[in-house]
A = this chain, B = another copy of it.
């Protein structure tokens, strides 16, 4: 097991291109847009504990987590966009938290205003989940500004949690109903050096699945819902609420790394592979069962009914990042990239102001309007500014703001892994010597990446670069030489690096057609179009209605064209295909083979629904 660390987002700056554009959108629009909605919906006020019985906007059990993720994301933006006003805004929220914290260190806006006597009694009520997000926010704000107040408040809270769950054991449950605290405590440990937080994280991991804990009646008391079906190290498959599962194993991976716990790492990898190999939409989306926002049956991947929560993709980004630090296997990095560019990024509009919670692969808006009218389903047909459960907006916001943190890992001695590509400047310190890797690239629109080395003094190190799994003929050279070895999908160059050295990576990205396992009923007879890391889709505004009827030609003649004016600048893909010809009387007719040829246009999936409401499909008849 390796023990790498992510290179912090403050050390990996986006200097242009795809992610820089997104980070600007987040800093310029999303931070304010989400705050406004959280303010208007009472989340900000809730944090001040001013709500009294009978007033509107009663605090919800997870409001603190929403605010915490907002603080965390806003804090990350400060690294690339100084903003004293935003810092003041966060300080004011920290003051609210300080004022609201009880003498013993408890802070939960719901329990402290709605039912104080009942704290620590309901496993499902997200108390430790909220605490975890507050801890993550405190660590992020401390790292961004050096201010310790929020961090110290959360240390007090963590100390109280340690006492309640390991000493007095006064809570009605042993492990959280919604995991999150585990990974947060590991972050708190890294920020403070206090090993007791790491031990507490390990405690929650160790206890899970070993005790009789409250189950969830509406989920048929199936222990899988909250990953209670077995001790964490013995779990075999990805089960239950997807976000919980992803957060649990992210925390487990942190613990595995800190304690050299091979069994825990193996479990995390096993769960990740199971999710990818049996239950993942081609967009990276997870959650093939709406009931419980959960992992559903293997190979059951309906496209219209896809749950595929934005946060679920993010949870598996977090987990991939952590696994890569112990086992840099490009399958996990491939998936991290797939999630970031597709399953997760589809959750936010190009202007950064509105959001999807669910990210379906097929949609007909009129169906959704019908369902909403009858109360069958309230999935919106377009992104919205706020959800009643609004976890996704600040979650995608914090990840985009922090995206540099997912690019590289290092052991701080002589090894640097580059997992992701994009115009950027990443700085690592290897035994005290600074090494800068500057990526020049038009990724993900083009597959060529030039990595320039800057170093004050020569540095002996292995630099490893991911060869993307989607690329059939990648090439990588450093100073004109081939890699010393390819290891689990990474091209490794072992040499003494000096300023001016260049690594040239070339990942040709022709348009690909991809098909799903025959057991996936929903996708049989269909292909999806991919190019590089991007999954494509057809939208009604480009191709008319009844997208399901479009069949791609045997020789599609794909034509790609970068259009800087389209959807913020994307490569569109034109192809030949056909639709059925002739007319119908009633719903059915005798089969007629005649089809009308046409040229169709596909655009990146993440960018869909930015030109008005309409039909979409990812899968296309072949």
Does residue A167 face the partner (Cβ distance < 8 Å to B)? no
Q: Tell me whether B512 and A374 are in contact (CB under 8 A).
A: no
What is the 8 Å Cβ interface bit string for chain A, positions 582-593, against chain B (1 contact, 0 not)? 001011111110
- A269: min CB distance to chain B, Å: 14
A311 to B290, CA, bound (A): 28
Contact B297 A590 (CB under 8 A): no
Q: Which residues of B contact A520 (CB under 8 A)?
A: 548, 587
Which parts of A292-311 form the interface with B (CB within 8 Å)?
A: 292, 294, 296-300, 302, 304-305
CA distance in complex: A305, B219 (Å) = 19
**In whole angstroms, what is the CA distance A588 to B512 when docked?**
12
Of the 9-residue stretches A26-34, A365-373, A444-452, which lies at the interface with chain B?
A: A365-373
Q: Are B282 and A588 in contact (CB under 8 A)?
A: yes
Q: Which of A528-556 contact B (CB under 8 A)?
A: 545-546, 548-549, 551
Please, how many angstroms separate the alpha-carbon atoms of A218 and B525 in the complex?
38
> Of B277, B549, B584, which one neighbours A524 at CB under 8 angstroms?
B549
Chain B residues contacting A514 (CB-CB under 8 Å) are 588-591
- Which residues of A201-220 have CB atoms within 8 Å of chain B's CB atoms? 218-220
Partner pick for A375 among B222, B290, B548, CB 8 A cutoff: B222
- Pairwise interchain contact B364-A521, C-beta atoms closer than 8 A: yes
Beyond A222-B374, A225-B374, whether A515 also contacts B548 by CB under 8 A is: no
Q: Are A291 and B375 in contact (CB under 8 A)?
A: yes
Q: Contact between A367 and B525 (Cβ–Cβ < 8 Å)?
A: no
Contacts of A296 in B (CB 8 A): 367, 370-371, 376
CA–CA, A518 and B22, complex, Å: 37
| B584 touching A291, Cβ below 8 Å | no
**Bound: A299/B615 CA distance, A:** 14
- Asked whether any CB of chain B lies closer than 8 Å to the CB of A580, the reply is yes
Compute how far the CA of A304 lies from the CA of B288 in the bound complex, rounded to whole angstroms.
14
- What's the least CB distance linking A280 to chain B, in Å? 6
A517 within 8 A of B: yes
A291→B368 CA distance, assembly (Å): 13
**Residue in B closest to A303 when the chains form the complex, CB atoms:** B521
A303 nearest CB across to chain B (Å): 8
The answer to whether B527 touches A591, judged by C-beta atoms less than 8 angstroms apart, is yes
Chain B hits for A586, CB < 8 A: 276-277
**Dominant SS among interface residues on chain A:** mixed
B222-A291 in contact (CB<8A): no
The answer to whether A551 touches B579 (Cβ under 8 A) is no
Query: In the bound complex, do residue A377 and residue B512 qualify as a contact, i.e. CB atoms below 8 Å apart?
Result: no
Q: Given A375-B222, A518-B580: A512 and B590 within 8 A (CB)?
A: yes
Q: How far is the CB of A86 from chain B (nearest CB, A)?
A: 40
A44: Cβ under 8 A from any B Cβ: no
Given A277-B587, A297-B366, A546-B519, also A219-B375 (CB < 8 A): yes
> Residue A621 at the B interface, CB < 8 A?
yes
Asked if A224 is at the interface of the complex by the 8 Å CB criterion, the answer is yes
Q: Taking CB as reference atom, which chain B residue is nearest A512?
A: B590
Are A515 and B304 in contact (CB-based, < 8 A)? no
Fill in one digit per residue for A496-536: 1 if any B CB lies within 8 Å of its CB, else 0.
Answer: 00000000000000001111111111101111000000000
For residue A545, give the distance in angstroms from its CB to the closest CB of chain B: 7
Judged by a CB distance under 8 angstroms, whether A622 is at the interface is: yes
- A362 at interface (Cβ–Cβ under 8 A)? yes
What is the CB-to-nearest-CB distance from A253 to chain B, in angstroms, rounded to a whole number? 21
Whether A20 sits at the interface, judged by CB under 8 Å, is no
B592 near A515 with CB under 8 A, answer yes
Q: Taking the complex as formed, is A317 at the interface, i.e. its CB lies under 8 A from any CB of chain B?
A: no
Q: Are the CB atoms of A280 and B587 closer together than 8 Å?
A: yes
The docked-state distance in angstroms from the alpha carbon of A579 to that of B580 is: 23
* Residues of B close to A551: CB separation below 8 A: 525
User: Which residues of chain B have C-beta atoms less than 8 A from A224's C-beta?
Assistant: 374
Q: Which residues of B contact A298 (CB under 8 A)?
A: 366
Contact with B along A90-114 (1 / 0, CB 8 A): 0000000000000000000000000
Are B516's CB and A587's CB within 8 A? yes
Q: Which residues of B contact A588 (CB under 8 A)?
A: 282, 514-517
Contacts of A222 in B (CB 8 A): 373-375
Instruction: Kindly provide the distance from the CB of A277 to the nearest chain B CB, expressed in whole angstroms.
Output: 5
Rank and list the top 3 A-B pairs by shortest CB-CB distance, nearest first: A220-B375, A291-B376, A518-B549
A-B contact pairs, 30 of them (CB 8 A): A219-B374, A220-B372, A222-B374, A225-B374, A278-B587, A280-B587, A289-B370, A289-B371, A291-B371, A291-B374, A292-B374, A294-B374, A296-B371, A297-B366, A297-B371, A298-B366, A300-B367, A302-B304, A362-B521, A512-B590, A513-B591, A515-B580, A515-B590, A516-B587, A517-B587, A519-B545, A519-B546, A525-B526, A525-B551, A525-B621
